[in-house]
Amino acid sequence: FDDLLGFLASTRKLWIEDDRVGKKGSVLHYYLENISMIPSEKNYRVIDIANKKFVGTLDERYVVNEIEPGSYFVMRGSTWRTSRIDENRILAEPFITPAIAPKWSGEDIPVLLDVTERVSDLRKGNYPVLDLDEDSLDRMHKWHDGNLATTDRAIIESRGGEAVIQSLLGTKGNFALGEILASILTAVTGESAEMDYSPYHVYLRLARHVTSRDILGLIRSIEPGRIISYVNGLARRSRFFNGVFLYEARKFGVISVDSDLGRIRMEKIIDAYRDTILFKDSVRKLVSDYMDIETLENFLNGVKDGSIRIDLAETLSEASNSFLSHYLERVIPIQPTKVILEAVKNRLMNEPVFLLCTRCRNMRSGKVREISSLKCPSCGSSLVAVFSEYERERVTEAIASGEDREMQRKIIKNAHLQ
């Protein structure tokens, strides 16, 4: 309680004097902004930067978790690349890239452990299968035999840089297991690990080869009594945590509803409040709303004491391939044809660009195909930064004000890359 009062005082919502506490003038606005317990979320309008036309809208939670300059998303059946986030708008351009299927599913109703236990009983054959002909029954037996996990048997399968863990921990249990394993893999390899999950699977994908025995070793290395410590450690690297932290930060009055997410670096804000009650409460919400720690602890203890059998395979089973079918749609590239490559080349050559000399501040613009030399026509310097025409406003503002340090560093770095 004292920590909470101290934090609210540090954000100027309360004043504390000896043993007296009072509200400050700004608390009324804070109260009205947070009177509802339903999360207040904005919608972001997606604008095609080529013709300034409205494309659609994205929810704020999706923007926080998935969108940043250079990221891709699917809307209206087309792939779009994010150029920048500007207040309540996302400026994007159509982009020809490997096929990507929409992956945002919001917050589905979680499948709990008692449901997966009933599925396990069905897989063990403890319930009769009625009204099936002999051929169908034979197909079902082949599908089940040796292919599917149960509550007392997990299966770890790997193929190249992919691994699938068949574990019947439910939605929250598998999310917790997947987040922890992805965090450990990222820390160990120094490479980003992709994670997906269902109530019955955890999917991991790395840029390097990984074996099922490697994954088993990682699972055995997780200490059941220290899961909260793992969650505290992974929070900063988890994009999912960003959305949880944003909700809590608004409830604490740290980030207002009107804040421009395009100018907010969530990672830096999370680092700044890491040792505060805001961070602790965000972790609490992540654990209580999205993770099943008790189920995961029981699973880890079962793996360690042998009560849960682990089978290893260096190939993916038919059941796992069925689970991955939706995932593989967004990682299998389409084969680029000559027509597609020519279209991409023409689009890039007609891209409007903006050039800035870092020495004399000379500015010029034109299409890529029109730029014959990068050297500054005014002073002859070769340290010329090249930006998209749509970044002109921010670049010129950074030069004029001298306050946008991040953009100034970007200008210098850009010039040295040419």
CA distance 147 to 297: 25
232 and 375 share a domain? no
- Over residues 97-126, the mean pLDDT reads 72
Assess if residue 124 is contained within a domain: yes
- Over residues 305-321, the mean pLDDT reads 87
Return the pLDDT at 309: 92
Q: How many domains does the chain have?
A: 4
CA distance 55 to 47: 6
157 and 304 share a domain? yes
Return the pLDDT at 214: 92
176 and 81 share a domain? no
286 and 210 share a domain? yes
Q: Apex CA 241: angle with CA 34 and CA 187, to 5°?
A: 160
Instruction: Please write the tens of the pLDDT for every residue from 204-226.
Output: 988 888 899 999 999 999 999 99
Given a cut of 50, whether residue 154 has pLDDT beyond it is yes
CA distance 266 to 272: 10
Assess if residue 99 is contained within a domain: no
Which band of pLDDT confidence, cut at 50, 70 and 90, is reported for residue 334? very low
Distance of CA 351 to the CA centre of its chain: 29
153 and 299 share a domain? yes
3-class secondary structure, 83: strand
Assess if residue 146 is contained within a domain: yes
* β-sheet bridge partners, residue 197: 202
Element (H, E) at 240: helix 239-251
Q: What percent of the chain has pLDDT over 70?
A: 84
The backbone torsions φ and ψ at residue 198, rounded to the nearest 5 degrees and listed phi first, read: -140, 180
Q: Domain end: 300, 328, 356, which one?
A: 328
Distance of CA 416 to the CA centre of its chain: 31
88 and 155 share a domain? no
- Over residues 183-206, the mean pLDDT reads 86
CA distance 307 to 151: 10
Contact 5, 16 (CB under 8 A): yes
- pTM for the predicted model, two decimal places: 0.66
Assess if residue 190 is contained within a domain: yes
193 and 281 share a domain? yes
Given a cut of 60, whether residue 138 has pLDDT beyond it is yes
Element (H, E) at 217: helix 212-221
Contact 157, 166 (CB under 8 A): yes
Q: Apex CA 36: angle with CA 32 and CA 40, to 5°?
A: 90
Assess if residue 333 is contained within a domain: no
For the chain, how many residues are written?
A: 418
74 and 139 share a domain? no
Assess if residue 324 is contained within a domain: yes
Domain encompassing residue 75: 43-94
Which band of pLDDT confidence, cut at 50, 70 and 90, is reported for residue 339? low
- Over residues 377-387, the mean pLDDT reads 87
Both tokens of residue 289? 């709303």
Which three-class secondary structure string do you get for 239-292? HHHHHHHHHHHHHCCCCCCCCCHHHCCHHHHHHHCCCCHHHHHHHHHHHHHHCC
Given a cut of 60, whether residue 102 has pLDDT beyond it is no
Assess if residue 306 is contained within a domain: yes
345 and 393 share a domain? yes
Which band of pLDDT confidence, cut at 50, 70 and 90, is reported for residue 331? very low
263 and 313 share a domain? yes
Assess if residue 103 is contained within a domain: no
3-class secondary structure, 158: strand
Both tokens of residue 242? 């960003």
CA distance 367 to 362: 17
256 and 235 share a domain? yes
Return the pLDDT at 101: 46
124 and 148 share a domain? yes
Contact 87, 260 (CB under 8 A): yes
Both tokens of residue 231? 């969650």
